[in-house]
């Protein structure tokens, strides 16, 4: 199928107010759990959402969307009901900036990591990163869920001096994982899963971790049907 661009067919696009400080498509859709999105044209991302193919692009203040319907006779820009799926997918009604301020106020380590992990836009204003793992948490509607693996276990012990009190576990196990999840939920609040994703992703981007990854892992692409 031929994918549209905003310049080629502007009448088939609708937009949602969304500053880039809340959502960066190039960061969210290019990594993590967002396996079905592809950049078919510069800054234009196509993927499947609720059994429909979409193309998304954005400006500094708006998120632009176009949808490809099965009924080719029904053309036109996305309806408000169709745009609702986009808003819910990216959780655009949740202010990431407010969450960052809260997490930073209760967790000095998070504040330090977030300042180093911010991304500059072309205009020089700071953008907060809504990482791809957050999208996975949003889709499951479980923002309080804190995934725990060996890497997150190491972060907890190294940066928070955390150790399990209900078991003698020296690594992840069901009982200790539950305790660690509760620790972070009590610290970060109902969106603890998002905060965890920021720390996890920031830590993986440290040069020491990248150097340890085998080249094949760094180059591996996700499998799946093309959009």
Annotated catalytic sites, by residue?
Answer: 130
User: How far is it, in rounded angstroms, from Cα 224 to Cα 36?
Assistant: 7
Residues 63-92 as b/e (b if ≥16 CB within 10 A, e otherwise) read: bbbbbbeeeeeeeebbeeebbebbeeebbb
Q: Quote the Cα angle for 117-120-125, to 5°.
A: 120
Q: Contacts from 77-82 at CB under 8 Å and sequence distance 24+?
A: 77/11, 77/12, 77/13, 77/14, 78/13, 78/14, 82/52
140 by Cβ neighbours in 10 Å (0-12 / 13-18 / 19+) ranks as: exposed
């Amino acid at each position: 199928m031929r994918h549209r661009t905003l310049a080629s067919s502007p009448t088939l696009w609708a937009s949602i107010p969304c500053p880039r400080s809340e959502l960066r498509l190039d960061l969210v859709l290019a990594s993590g759990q967002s396996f079905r999105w592809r950049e078919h044209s510069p800054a234009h991302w196509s993927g499947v959402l609720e059994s429909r193919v979409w193309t998304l692009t954005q400006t500094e203040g708006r998120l632009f969307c176009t949808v490809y319907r099965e009924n080719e006779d029904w053309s036109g820009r996305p309806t408000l009901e169709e745009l609702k799926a986009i808003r819910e997918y990216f959780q655009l009604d949740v202010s990431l900036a407010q969450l960052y301020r809260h997490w930073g106020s209760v967790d000095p380590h998070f504040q330090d990591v977030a300042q180093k992990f911010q991304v500059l836009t072309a205009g020089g204003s700071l953008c907060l990163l809504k990482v791809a793992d957050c999208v996975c948490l949003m889709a499951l509607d479980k923002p309080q869920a804190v995934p725990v693996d060996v890497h997150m276990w190491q972060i907890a012990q190294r940066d928070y001096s955390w150790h399990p009190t209900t078991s003698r576990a020296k690594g992840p196990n069901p009982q200790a994982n539950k305790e660690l999840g509760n620790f972070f939920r009590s610290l970060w609040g109902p969106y603890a899963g998002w905060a965890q994703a920021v720390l996890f992703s920031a830590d993986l981007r440290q040069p020491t971790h990248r150097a340890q990854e085998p080249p094949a892992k760094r180059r591996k692409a996700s499998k799946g049907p093309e959009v």
